[in-house]
Structure formats: structure tokens, C-alpha cells
Chains A and B, each alone.
Chain A
């Protein structure tokens, strides 16, 4: 076990909120077509309120702090807030579009001890990137910002959100990252808007494209291991918590609202009226989230993928039940391994593949209900294993 795994597991065991994501603002200078936020300012916390919050978070044991937005550098007190965070010795990661970052800003971030920056680049083609951000010239400005960050000695992670319009360009974006000495991540996850609007999900890449992604060693590493059929799980796995949300991680909005995760918009308290630690420990919503175990999921517990699925309880909550399936992850598990999920079988979206024993698919029998359709895929004929 690596030291990182050790400390993360220990934080989980001790109930410490080790990782917190804080958005400084929802305002943004871009209007990305897939964004889950509404960008009006509805009363952001002041720098003094953030300073008080950071003190409470440090006392609660927070170590990893992701600062994001909206575009956090839009705040006039942005550097005050970063300095305040660093004065509490958080490990600070900054998510930014880098449009406003030039040499001076990059040097300041380096001097403040920001450990890493993450910048989204949607394409190596300016016209494609700018079409996503709806900000003309944003590609050039973002690339200039990345160049300044690297020149200042900051680590940069380039993230490519893979959607219909950007999927074809991921290899070229990865090459761009290599050119800058940046790390590269690609993620096909598109989440519903925090308002509940699910229209942005139409931007998701079609499920039929997922097998191609999952066979790309540059993205997934060892393809054989990544795409291997799920192994049976033991009792320890079934008693495990499904993810860090509410267990060792949470999210705070610019307005002080606390949620289990940025992808899990379940209001759990507000730091303007409550202590951060009080919300973390005593919020009924947080306690409900942390009571979830893989063994008590009405559909997923019996799914063959239960031990390896990236099931997101936040996305499941947006579908109506935090203990239910998150359909996009069902699809990923299916297209990754060729083994249908219990949820897909229940909805009649796929048929039992020939050549795979029913027992290998879990105990959940395929249901006879009419399919309402999963979020993004159409049923595919399965290739016999």
C-alpha cells in the first residue's frame, strides 16, 4: 500500500474530511456548452468568510483543497483567498481555464505554494475549443496561460472533457500536454446541471464510442486488466463505502452551501450559519450518504460489477435515488467489459449474452419492464465472450 493510500484510508477510518473542493465563484469568462453551473452571482462569500472557513477546515483536518469555480481568477480577491488557504497549510490544487493567467499571475501562484493547476483543453484546434467555451480567442489565451504556468515551475494537468464535439481530438490534446510537460487526463463524464436540468447530457459521447476509448492504452493503461470481466467480490468489498463523497471528501459552494461532493448536489448545511465541522459530523444528509454500503444498494448489490464499477452516488441521486444505479457508470462498466449491468438487464436494454453464465452476471434477473432508455446509449448486440 502506498503512503497516499495509507493516509486516505486512515482519514476515512477516522472520519476526517481530508479532501474538500471549494468553488470561489460561479461566474465565468467562458460559457462552456457542457457546464453544470449557472453563472449568476447570488451572493458569494467574502474573502473574510473564506478565511474563517479555511480556519475551520484546517481544524477539522482538511489536507487537500481544490479551489475552483466558475473561473476563480475572476475574483478581485483571488490571491488573498489563495494566500489565506496556504497560510493554513492546505495542499492547494487550482482548477482554472488559465485565460487570465500570465507570467506575473503564474509566478504569484508558484510563490504561494500552489501544488498543481488543472486546465481544461477541449481540442488542439482553436475553432473547436472556442466553440465549446463560446469565448473567441480562448484557446490561444488558455495555451498562453499554460505556458506561463509551466515557465513558473508549476505542475499543470491538462484535462480533456470528451464529448461528441471533442472526442476525435483527444490524442492531439494528449500530444499538446506532452509538449508542455503537463500530465493529461481525459474524462467522458458530463453531469446534469446543478439546477437539475439534464439537457447537457445530450453532449455525452454515444455509448457505442466507449469501447474504443476503453481499448486505448494511452488512456487506460493496461487494457487487458482494465477491460477484464469483473471478479466476484467478498464481504469486505460489500461492506465498503462506495466512494469518498461524505466519507472523506465534500464540497463547498461560493455561497457557503455544503454538499457531499461537487457531483452530489444534496444540500447538507451552510457554513455561513453553521460550523464546518458541525455540518460534516452532524448533518442528517451527510450521515445518510455515509451510511451507504455496497451491500445495501437495491439494484447494484446484485450486479456483477458491484466491486469494480465507478458508480457515482451523486449521479444516482440526480436520477432519483442515491442508493440506485448511476446509469452512465452502468454503461461504462458494460462497454468496458462486455458484461451487462444488473440495471441494464432490469431495464431490458441488453439481452443476456450467450456464452456468459447467468451466475457471472450477478443474481439480478433481467426484468420485463419496458425500457425508458439509459441516459446515453442505445442497446447494442453483445458479442459472445
Chain B
């Protein structure tokens, strides 16, 4: 099985609001509200940690769920967000985006 890596898109806004994570795409202004579990995946999406590892260490350790079920749900979740361009998914580690260029054009 291929290892899956996930990384947050740089074209999003995100903030924790109580027990949920609010995420908005700057590209199409779509607004998402992520549940507590989804928020864990989002916050751990550093492009370097395999999804399987995130699920095992961050989700299964905190919630009463078996690893296979949690991984299936996680893969479905990341594909959904990837379709909207707010999460990057790859079978290779994902390099962080180049620094948001601040030089004046």
C-alpha cells in the first residue's frame, strides 16, 4: 500500500473556533467546518508525516476507534478536502510551499 502524505494548502484561511476548525478556501471562498477528529488531521498535515502515522498516533490514541476504520474515514476526508484544493495529497512527502513572497514586485 502506498504511503499517503497530506499538507495544508497555502491558499486557505483556518482557525479553531471552540471544538471545531473553520477553514475557508481563498480560491473559491468555500467554507468548511471540521469536526474535532478532522481538525486533528488538518493540524497534523505537515506534508512529512504519513497519514497512517497521524491516524494511529493522534486519532486512535484519543478516540475509541479501530485503526482500520479510522484510516478509511481519514482517507475519505482528505480526498474530499483535496477536491476543493485546501489539502494537498501525495504519495511522496510534500515540500512546504516556498515562503510567501514578500518582496515588492
Could you list which residues of chain A lie within 8 angstroms of chain B, going by C-beta atoms?
3-4, 6-7, 10-11, 14, 16, 18, 58, 61-64, 76, 78-80, 82-84, 86-87, 89-92, 104-105, 107-108, 111-116, 155
Q: Is the CB of A6 within 8 A of B33?
A: yes
Distance of A4 Cα from B2 Cα, bound (Å): 37
Cα separation A13 to B45 with both chains bound (whole Å): 29
Q: B102 touches which one: A83, A89, A114, A115 (CB < 8 A)?
A: A83
Q: How far is the CB of B43 from chain A (nearest CB, A)?
A: 11
Asked whether any CB of chain A lies closer than 8 Å to the CB of B100, the reply is yes
- How far apart are the CA atoms of A89 and B86 in the complex, in Å? 12
With A78-B104, A79-B104 given, is the CB distance from A90 to B13 under 8 Å? Answer: yes
Q: Which of B11, B13, B29, B100 contacts A63 (CB 8 A)?
A: B13
Q: Is there a chain A Cβ closer than 8 Å to B62's Cβ?
A: no
* Residue among A62, A78, A79, A107 with most chain B CB within 10 A: A79
Q: B101–A16 contact, CB under 8 A?
A: no
- Enumerate chain B interface residues (CB-CB to A < 8 A): 10-18, 20, 22, 24, 26, 29, 31-33, 99-105
Closest to B23 in A: A89
CB-CB under 8 A for A86 and B31, given A7-B17, A58-B15, A114-B26: no
B13–A115 contact, CB under 8 A?
A: yes
How far apart are the CA atoms of A4 and B13 in the complex, in Å?
14
B100 near A111 with CB under 8 A, answer yes
* B104, A63: Cβ atoms closer than 8 Å: no
A244 to chain B, nearest CB (A): 15
Chain A to chain B contacts (Cβ below 8 Å), 6 pairs: A3-B33, A58-B15, A61-B15, A87-B100, A111-B100, A115-B24
